């Protein structure tokens, strides 16, 4: 599929990406550099967040890299000064880990976001603040396709903290006349992901198993429906959101057009990427209690406001992903 999305020129724009060594942040950094932006990355390489220094190996001379934590208020206050845009991609991203270590999750996904917002309010009130959320903020769906007006009753601590931090961002936007956009993502896959642990999205873990020719384990029958989106489509939407005046103080689902069962996702991954088998096992108790069921979500609002469309099918995205890891796999194992 041709990548025909026309993205805005970012020449001269100063962009801060927290969590910029991670999956989403690093891909975003590459595209922002390509579009002419001056990019600064903050990342602590927290092992619970999936960052990888290799993710910037080919742009390291084009960016500023700060090894720090979003809990370090003086550091982020200095970094946020004179920036035009901040993409907050920093997060502790594991649902199961958040249940085992709720206080750590709260620090990163709650207090860390307050730190960034407060730093922006005090030292750079005019910055455009893009807060990254997750579709799992909704919990089990009450109607489908779910949209931005769907109620939020999260099933795990990670999703709950992402929901609360999104509200923090919107409160700061309204109360202090700041420019905030909240973007919720769903099952992003592609190059530069952490593929070695089920803690960092099941789809990228499945890809990692397939790349190694290993079997993919599926809980239950794998009938639950998931939405999938290729990383390039996410990056395009985030950049468009950062340049949209209409988007300010609003919430958007940036999700793909395809909804597939977990079993079908695994089957397709083994077909395109690897030659392992699918192994079906009973649900572990700790995973069953946080399972949300089908996740069927509308992206109509983002399409309408950003003039954006997902351009990669699941299969096209998997082929591009395979191309990347065929060359770079040793840096992710």
Residue 292 pLDDT = 73
- Note whether residue 149 is domain-resident: yes
Residue 317 burial (C-beta neighbours within 10 Å; 0-12, 13-18, 19+)? buried
Closest CA to 44 of 73, 66, 15, 75: 66
> Which of helix, strand or coil describes residue 161?
helix
- Note whether residue 6 is domain-resident: no
pLDDT in tens, 293-303: 788 999 999 99
Find the DSSP H helices in 93-251.
95-100, 102-106, 112-123, 157-175, 202-211, 231-243
- Of the given ranges (25-29, 46-50, 125-129, 141-145), which has the lowest mean pLDDT? 46-50
Q: What is the CATH number of the domain that holds 63?
A: 3.40.50.720
Domain encompassing residue 108: 14-331
* Angle made by CA atoms 146, 265, 55, in degrees to the nearest 5: 90
pLDDT in tens, 215-227: 998 888 888 899 9
How many residues comprise the chain?
333
Cα separation, 181 vs 77, in Å, equals 20
Residue 15 near residue 41 (C-beta atoms within 8 A): no
Residue 4 pLDDT = 61
Residue 54 pLDDT = 97
Q: How many domains does the chain contain in total?
A: 1
- Note whether residue 61 is domain-resident: yes
- Note whether residue 87 is domain-resident: yes
Task: Write down the residue that tokens 């060594």 correspond to.
Answer: 21
Residue 243 pLDDT = 97
Tell me the two tokens of residue 277.
């088998």
Q: How confident is the model at residue 1 (pLDDT cuts 50, 70, 90)?
A: very low
61-70 mean pLDDT: 96
**For residue 318, pLDDT beyond 90:** yes
Tell me the two tokens of residue 257.
């057009």
- Note whether residue 278 is domain-resident: yes
Residue 305 pLDDT = 95
* Angle made by CA atoms 238, 241, 242, in degrees to the nearest 5: 90
pLDDT in tens, 183-238: 999 999 999 999 988 888 889 999 999 999 999 988 888 888 999 999 999 999 99
Residue 200 pLDDT = 81
Question: Would you say the pTM of this structure is higher than 0.85?
Answer: yes
> Which of helix, strand or coil describes residue 221?
coil
- Note whether residue 9 is domain-resident: no
- Note whether residue 8 is domain-resident: no
Residue 274 pLDDT = 81
**For residue 266, pLDDT beyond 80:** yes
- Note whether residue 325 is domain-resident: yes
Cα separation, 212 vs 181, in Å, equals 38
């Amino acid at each position: 599929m041709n990548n025909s999305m026309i993205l805005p020129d970012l020449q001269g724009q100063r962009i801060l990406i927290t969590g910029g060594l991670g999956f989403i942040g690093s891909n975003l950094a590459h595209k922002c550099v390509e579009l002419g932006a001056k990019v600064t990355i903050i990342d602590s390489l927290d092992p619970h967040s999936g960052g990888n220094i290799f993710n910037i190996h080919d742009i390291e001379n084009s960016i500023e890299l700060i090894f720090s934590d979003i809990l370090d208020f003086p550091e982020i206050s200095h970094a946020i000064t004179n920036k035009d845009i901040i993409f907050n991609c920093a997060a502790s991203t594991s649902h199961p880990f958040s249940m085992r270590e709720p206080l750590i999750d709260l620090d990163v996904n709650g207090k860390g976001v307050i730190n960034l917002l407060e730093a922006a309010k005090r030292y750079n009130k005019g910055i455009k603040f893009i807060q990254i959320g997750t579709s799992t903020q909704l919990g089990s769906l009450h109607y489908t396709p779910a949209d931005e007006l769907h109620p939020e009753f999260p099933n795990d601590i990670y999703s709950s903290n992402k929901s609360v931090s999104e509200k923090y961002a919107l409160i700061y936007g309204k109360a202090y006349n700041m420019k905030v956009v909240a973007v919720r993502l769903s099952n992003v896959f592609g190059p530069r992901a952490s593929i070695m642990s089920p803690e960092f999205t099941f789809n990228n873990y499945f890809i990692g198993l397939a790349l190694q020719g290993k079997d993919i384990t599926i809980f239950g029958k794998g009938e639950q429906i998931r939405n999938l989106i290729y990383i390039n489509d996410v990056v395009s939407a985030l950049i468009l959101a950062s340049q949209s005046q209409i988007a300010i103080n609003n919430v958007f689902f940036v999700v793909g057009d395809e909804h597939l069962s977990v079993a079908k996702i695994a089957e397709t991954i083994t077909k395109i990427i690897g030659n392992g088998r699918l192994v079906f096992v009973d649900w572990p108790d700790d995973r069953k209690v946080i399972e949300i069921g089908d996740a069927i979500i509308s992206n109509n609002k983002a399409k309408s406001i950003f003039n954006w469309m997902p351009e990669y099918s699941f299969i096209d995205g998997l082929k591009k992903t395979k191309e990347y890891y065929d060359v770079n796999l040793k840096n992710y194992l």
